[in-house]
Every structure is written in C-alpha cells, then in structure tokens.
C-alpha cells in the first residue's frame, strides 16, 4: 500500500544547501564549482542569494554573540545596534532608512534599552520624539562585531575592484526596488 510518505521526493542535503541552477546557467552549460555556484547567475539567483546571505549573516552574529557570552539580546537586535553605532537617531529614522518596520523596531529598541545596550531620551525640539544612541555597553559590542567583520573581510581576500563592483550592483538593486515601491 502506497502512503503519502512514499510519494514525497527525497531531498539530499546537497540539494537543500545548493539549490538547482538557474535556467541561464543550465542553458549555458556551466558546471557548478565546489560550493554549488556557477559563473552565470540570473537576477533570480542573485535575489535568492541575498535572502540566504541575510539569514546566514544573522547566524554568524548569533554565533559571535554566543562566543562573547552574550545571551540577553538576539542577532536581529545586535544588527539593529550595529546600524545605530555612534549615531543618535529616532525610531522613525530607522524605519525611513528602510532597515525595519515600525512595530519590530519599537520592540527591539525597547529590549535594547532594557538591557542597557541603548540609551534613549526625549528630543529637545519635539517631546513626542525619542532619540536613541548606543550606550558604552552597546558600543563595546559594536566594536567586537566590527572586529568580527574585519576578520571575515580579511578571510574573503577580495580585490578592491570586486568589492566596488559588488557594492555598485547591490546599491543599484536597492535603488530599483525602492523606486518600484515608491513609483510603481
């Protein structure tokens, strides 16, 4: 008797870690390298990669927090702290920059204030507005995470031209998406 379980396709770990090649790569006859990537990547491949990299980066931050013995904040909150660092900003500015949505950032900021990674004070000009900045404890964590990023950058061994090209491409993609949201 065939059960639903028998009909489901089995997935190998390799299939999950390295998704199927794009049609462009398949049509070009490009073979993946050891990591499963190819020289030919489609727009869809790039957008999927960005999403996977974001998740993986949060995993890296989570691991670093664990190594530092920090268990009172999570990776998303640490990343929020990294986006503030030495700036003094309002929650509205964080939302406007496109980093976060309102309810998420409010919860995470409150938690970072409660755990003493952020300080907050009412704006002098508009008492309804709250300004936030990293505390000494928050700046120390930012320094540790900056050092982690420096180690990773060194391990990458990318040429300046490669970094510039990646930056340019990703900023262009951000601009296209932002324009699409704003102007349709």
Mean pLDDT of 159-177: 93
- pLDDT for 33: 54
- Quick one: what percent of the chain has pLDDT higher than 90? 55
Mean residue pLDDT across the chain: 82
Best-predicted range by mean pLDDT among 10-24, 130-144, 169-183? 130-144
Look at 72-86, 92-106, 131-145, 160-174 and tell me which has the smallest mean pLDDT.
92-106
Averaged over 76-97, what is the pLDDT? 90
Q: Answer with the residue of higher pLDDT: 74 or 94.
A: 74
Residue 104 is predicted with a pLDDT of 85
Mean pLDDT over residues 38-62, rounded?
Answer: 88
Whole-angstrom CA distances from 114 to 82, 106, 109 are 17, 12, 9
Q: Is the pLDDT of residue 25 over 80?
A: no
Per-domain boundaries in the chain: 71-159
H, E, C per residue of 32-73 = CCCCCCCCCCCHHHHHHHHHHHHHHHHHHHHHHHHHCCCCCC
Q: Which class in CATH covers the domain with range 71-159?
A: mainly alpha
pLDDT single digits (tens) 77-87: 999 999 999 99
More confident residue, 1 or 127: 127
Instruction: Kindly tell me if the per-residue pLDDT of 38 is higher than 80.
Output: no
Question: Given a cut of 50, is residue 68 above it in pLDDT?
Answer: yes
- Closest by Cα among 8, 29, 53 to 170: 53
Mean pLDDT, residues 61-86 taken together: 96
- Among residues 112, 102, 51, 103, the alpha carbon closest in space to that of 77 is found at 112
CA–CA distances in Å: residue 130 to residues 80, 101, 123, 171: 16, 17, 6, 30
pTM of the model: 0.73
């Amino acid at each position: 008797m065939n059960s639903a379980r028998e009909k489901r396709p089995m997935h190998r770990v390799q299939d999950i870690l390295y998704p199927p090649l794009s049609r462009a790569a398949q049509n070009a006859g490009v073979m993946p390298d050891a990591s499963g990537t190819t020289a030919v990547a489609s727009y869809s491949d790039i957008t999927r990669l960005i999403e996977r990299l974001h998740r993986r980066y949060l995993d890296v931050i989570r691991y670093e927090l664990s190594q530092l013995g920090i268990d009172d904040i999570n990776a998303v909150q640490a990343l929020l702290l990294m986006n503030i660092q030495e700036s003094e900003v309002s929650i509205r500015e964080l939302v406007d920059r496109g980093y976060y949505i309102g309810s998420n950032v409010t919860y995470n900021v409150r938690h970072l204030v409660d755990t003493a990674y952020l300080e907050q004070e009412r704006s002098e000009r508009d008492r309804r507005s709250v300004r936030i900045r990293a505390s000494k404890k928050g700046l120390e964590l930012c320094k540790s995470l900056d050092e982690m990023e420096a180690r990773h950058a060194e391990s990458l061994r990318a040429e300046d031209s490669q970094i510039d090209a990646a930056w340019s491409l990703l900023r262009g993609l951000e601009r296209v998406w932002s324009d699409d949201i704003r102007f349709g």
